[in-house]
Amino acid sequence: MPVTPEQQAEIDELRSQSTQTLRATVPGMEAHLYKAHDVLDHGFVRVVDYMGDDSAICQAARVSYGRGTKAVSNDEGLIRYLMRHWHSTPFEMCEIKLHVKLPVFVARQWIRHRTANVNEYSARYSILDREFYIPAADHLNAQSKINNQGRGELLQGEEAARVLDILKTDSNRCYDNYEAMISDEGQDGLARELARMNLPANIYTQWYWKVDLHNLFHFLRLRADPHAQYEIRVYAEMICKIIADWVPAAYGAFEDYRLGGAQFSGKGMEVLRRMLKGEKVTRESSGMSKGEWRELMGSLDGT
């Protein structure tokens, strides 16, 4: 299950409390505080704390105190200007701390973003739960024949059933051996820090992850992209929904200029200029490699 009864009791207690503060708060974000949003079969994302709002971004950009006399529309225009021109520092004034439960192989992808503060559940001190990520049937794909990092056609029938059986059987067998090693029928048993090496990469771990908004946007630009691996993309998409309620102006600009936008190389811009003039441009006449041309055409086609 995504949240244990003990965790739910803690969440309920925290959500029942209310304190006064002089710092900026956001009603949409207050509604998210502590609440666990389910992701995958056993995972979740929940907001533990946050700092700042859209006004904090503008305040830092203007280096002023208080809200001043600027209208909300002016703030939104400033935020869009900052995003459009890649002025990142003002976005660093906002921070968020998340509690995330995720499969270990997803965590290994996630941790490559080295611009956050992370504290992970320790299998040296504690025993991991018997919870594994098992893909749903509609996410069980073969290897792509054109992309070494991607998925191809969906597995069907007996082949899909065979793979699912292997995943479930191997996961539970590894955990059975893990339990046996750490509690060897009254003997001392193997140290937990050694026994954990036998666990599969689809077992769930948890961590607290604190990051500023600028670096969070960089994470989301890569991981919420349609080409990102599904298992990390669903976490990014859930975080996007949360961020949209926290800093709506900043997220709107991010969605427009980063998620919905595209960046072109010098050669790519030259191809676009030639096309706009009515010239028929081919890959051979563009001076671009096959990969560059495919990506450029994909950006223009929205694929």
Instruction: Summarize pLDDT for 60-89 with one digit per residue, the tens.
Output: 998 855 555 455 568 999 999 999 999 999
In this structure, are residues 83 and 168 in contact, taking their beta carbons and an 8 Å threshold?
no
Which residue, 255, 39, 209, is CA-closest to 112? 209
When the candidates are 3.30.365.10, 3.40.50.720, 3.30.1360.170, 3.40.50.300, the CATH number that belongs to 5-133+202-259 is 3.30.1360.170
Tokens of 77: 């225009």
In this structure, are residues 224 and 53 in contact, taking their beta carbons and an 8 Å threshold?
no
What is the SS3 assignment for 33?
A: strand
Average pLDDT, the chain: 91
Helices (H) and strands (E) in the chain, counts: 13, 7
Per-residue b or e along 85-94, where b marks 16 or more CB atoms closer than 10 Å to that residue's CB: eeeeebbbbb
The pLDDT score that the predictor gives to residue 64 is: 57
pLDDT tens digits for range 245-276? 999 999 999 999 999 888 899 999 999 999 99
DSSP-derived pairing of the beta strands 204-212 and 95-103:
antiparallel
Would you place residue 34 in the very low, low, confident or very high pLDDT band (cuts 50, 70, 90)? very high
The pLDDT score that the predictor gives to residue 278 is: 95
The pLDDT score that the predictor gives to residue 25 is: 92
The pLDDT score that the predictor gives to residue 183 is: 81
The pLDDT score that the predictor gives to residue 27 is: 94
The pLDDT score that the predictor gives to residue 207 is: 97
The residue extents of the domains of the chain are 5-133+202-259, 135-200, 266-301
d(CA 198, CA 167): 15
In this structure, are residues 46 and 34 in contact, taking their beta carbons and an 8 Å threshold?
yes
pLDDT tens digits for range 121-145? 999 989 999 999 999 988 888 887 7
pLDDT tens digits for range 201-253? 999 999 999 999 999 999 999 999 988 999 999 999 999 999 999 999 999 99
The pLDDT score that the predictor gives to residue 73 is: 60
d(CA 204, CA 208): 14
Write down the H helix ranges in 66-156.
72-84, 104-110
Catalytic residue among 46, 196, 223, 258: 223
Tokens of 131: 């919870």
Q: Count the alpha carbons within 13 Å of 129 in the hemisphere toward its beta carbon.
A: 16
| Distance (Å) of CA 26 to CA 16, 110, 137 | 17, 27, 39
Which residue, 211, 215, 238, is CA-closest to 95? 211
pLDDT at 48 over 60: yes
pLDDT tens digits for range 183-205? 865 567 899 999 999 999 999 99
Q: Is this structure's pTM higher than 0.75? A: yes
What is the SS3 assignment for 265?
A: coil
In this structure, are residues 203 and 172 in contact, taking their beta carbons and an 8 Å threshold?
no
Tokens of 207: 């961590």
In this structure, are residues 95 and 51 in contact, taking their beta carbons and an 8 Å threshold?
yes
223 among known catalytic residues: yes
Indicate if the alpha-carbon torsion angle 56, 57, 59, 63 is positive or negative.
positive
